[in-house]
Amino acid sequence: MTMPLMKPPRKNPVLRTPQMNLPPWARGRVALGMTAAAALGRFELQVCQDCGQLQYPPREACHHCLSARLKWRAQDGGGTLLAQSTLHHSNDLFFRERLPWRLGFVQLDAGPTVIVHLHDEIGQAPQRVRVGARLDRAGQAVLIGFPEQGSEHMADDRMLREMSSDPKFRKVLVTDGKTAVGQALVRSLVKAGADIVWVGHAEPWKKLPGLDGITALPQVTLVPLDLSNERSVTELAGEIGGKVDIVVNNAEVHRTFGIGARRGTDAARAEMEINYFGLLRLAQAFGPALRGRAADGVTHATAWVNLLSVYALSNFPPHGTFSASKAAALSLAQCHRAEMRPAGIRVINVFPGPIDDEWNQNMPPPKLSPAAVASAIVGALRDGIEDVYPGDVAQEWLERWRESPKVLEREIAAGGAL
């Protein structure tokens, strides 16, 4: 049974913070298909479309019939642990700092045998296990053997905590506390065990609904933060940047209408100022501090979360300029992810469908509640997922976009968006 994680002692400020060493990250293009699935929280293997044989390791041609028609398919991960070993020595710097490290050999019920990292709650072979795919600190997929029935503290496993971004005992910055989503996020993070939650407020002199409820929580501190003002962002980064473990950028400006239904560019500029340039200012101010603390013990800096929109994939004309600002933010977030990866900081992009708020009040259900968005974000942090599409609308939109972006564009233009 995994021992519950205890709150770590305060760091000695005299001690030097070590630099991050990443696990081996080189992968071939074919193997990146497993990483793409793990980024969405799925364990997938290739299946031959001609003979039906399951493939492992990933390959370009079927090992049975040599067909090149291999498709990635989700697996349930059930299997039997045949053998296990504990690594006490390694020439790789990442694993050398984290020894001992357990490995196992698992026969999947689906056929192939795989080498996996073993959760501490798994005992000696043989026994039943469940194999899942997770992203490691380098952002590449690895396989982990989990117990079929885990304890309540299994997320505190040393290896799992290394690969996930669990908020427990971590310090979090939520950039906007005035919205219903921001306030739901704060409550969810506190419930998940966050040590401190700093909550940004662009106009702290205003008494907005719901703020008193979250600031009454002992873990919560309201801080001045205006993403349209570079000085505001820089000053806050100078004050708390070296302490933040997780940044959740949920600040956004959302206006309806597209191009022809509204004169001028003021609303579109306001959306870009927060949704795009706000992310840019935040990344420039807080990014270097997070990268510098990526190897800072059990509560190292670990993640950056961007609240985007499923409209970033394909523009939704009734919310046209908002969609465009989120598409720009998505492109910037991909650049930011690439820059943060060498430090092992995970950039999580969240693509919700319509949220039940003032800007979607005339839109018919289904709509996401703010609590559902918050729950999806905390779940992604715990499970180490990189891209999240919460809600039925976002899931359907994603499938249609994957099938054919051009068909989805035509359907939306014809009024068949939702």
Secondary structure of residue 337 in the 3-state scheme: helix
Specify if 19 maps to a domain. no
Q: Decide if 271 contacts 258 (C-beta within 8 A).
A: no
This prediction has a pTM of 0.92
Specify if 260 maps to a domain. yes
Q: Check which CATH number belongs to the domain holding 356 and give it.
A: 3.40.50.720
Asked which of 129, 160, 191 is the last residue of a domain, the reply is 160
Q: What is the pLDDT of residue 26?
A: 86
| 269 and 336, same domain (yes or no) | yes
| 314 and 395, same domain (yes or no) | yes
| 177 and 144, same domain (yes or no) | no
Specify if 293 maps to a domain. yes
Asked which of 160, 185, 207 is the last residue of a domain, the reply is 160
Specify if 2 maps to a domain. no
Q: What is the pLDDT of residue 365?
A: 82
Q: What token pair was written down for 327?
A: 């598409």
Nearest CA among 55, 106, 102 for reference residue 79: 106
Residue 290: domain span: 171-413
| 176 and 124, same domain (yes or no) | no
Nearest CA among 52, 51, 71 for reference residue 60: 71
Q: What is the pLDDT of residue 71?
A: 96
* Count of domains for the chain: 2
Nearest CA among 2, 7, 38 for reference residue 383: 38
Q: Decide if 103 contacts 84 (C-beta within 8 A).
A: yes
DSSP string, 79-141: EEEEEEEEE---SSHHHHTT-SEEEEEEEETTS-EEEEEE-TT--SSSEEEEEEEEE-TTS-E
| 187 and 311, same domain (yes or no) | yes
| 156 and 177, same domain (yes or no) | no
Specify if 21 maps to a domain. no
| 192 and 114, same domain (yes or no) | no
Per-position pLDDT tens, the chain of length 418? 566 677 777 777 777 777 888 888 888 899 999 999 999 999 999 999 999 999 999 999 999 999 999 999 999 999 999 999 999 999 988 888 889 999 999 999 999 999 999 999 998 989 999 999 999 999 999 999 999 887 778 888 888 888 889 999 999 999 999 999 999 999 999 999 999 999 999 887 777 778 888 989 999 999 999 999 999 999 999 999 999 999 999 999 998 888 888 888 999 999 999 999 999 999 999 999 999 998 887 778 899 999 999 999 999 999 999 999 999 999 999 999 999 999 999 999 999 999 988 777 777 788 899 999 999 999 999 999 999 999 999 999 999 999 999 999 999 988 765 5
Structure letter (DSSP) for residue 341: G
| 177 and 131, same domain (yes or no) | no
Q: What is the pLDDT of residue 85?
A: 94
Specify if 12 maps to a domain. no
Q: What is the pLDDT of residue 2?
A: 67
Strands annotated E in 202-273: 220-224, 246-249
Separation between Cα atoms, residue 348 and residue 307, nearest integer Å: 9
Q: Decide if 115 contacts 81 (C-beta within 8 A).
A: no
Asked which of 138, 160, 182 is the last residue of a domain, the reply is 160
| 183 and 71, same domain (yes or no) | no
Separation between Cα atoms, residue 333 and residue 41, nearest integer Å: 19
Specify if 6 maps to a domain. no
Q: What is the pLDDT of residue 369?
A: 94
Quick one: 228 exposed, middle or buried, by C-beta within 10 A (0-12, 13-18, 19+)?
middle
| 141 and 69, same domain (yes or no) | yes
CA dihedral 354, 358, 359, 360 (to 10 degrees): 40
Specify if 275 maps to a domain. yes
Torsion 153-158-160-164 (CA) sign: positive
| 195 and 246, same domain (yes or no) | yes
Q: What token pair was written down for 353?
A: 């469908």
| 293 and 398, same domain (yes or no) | yes
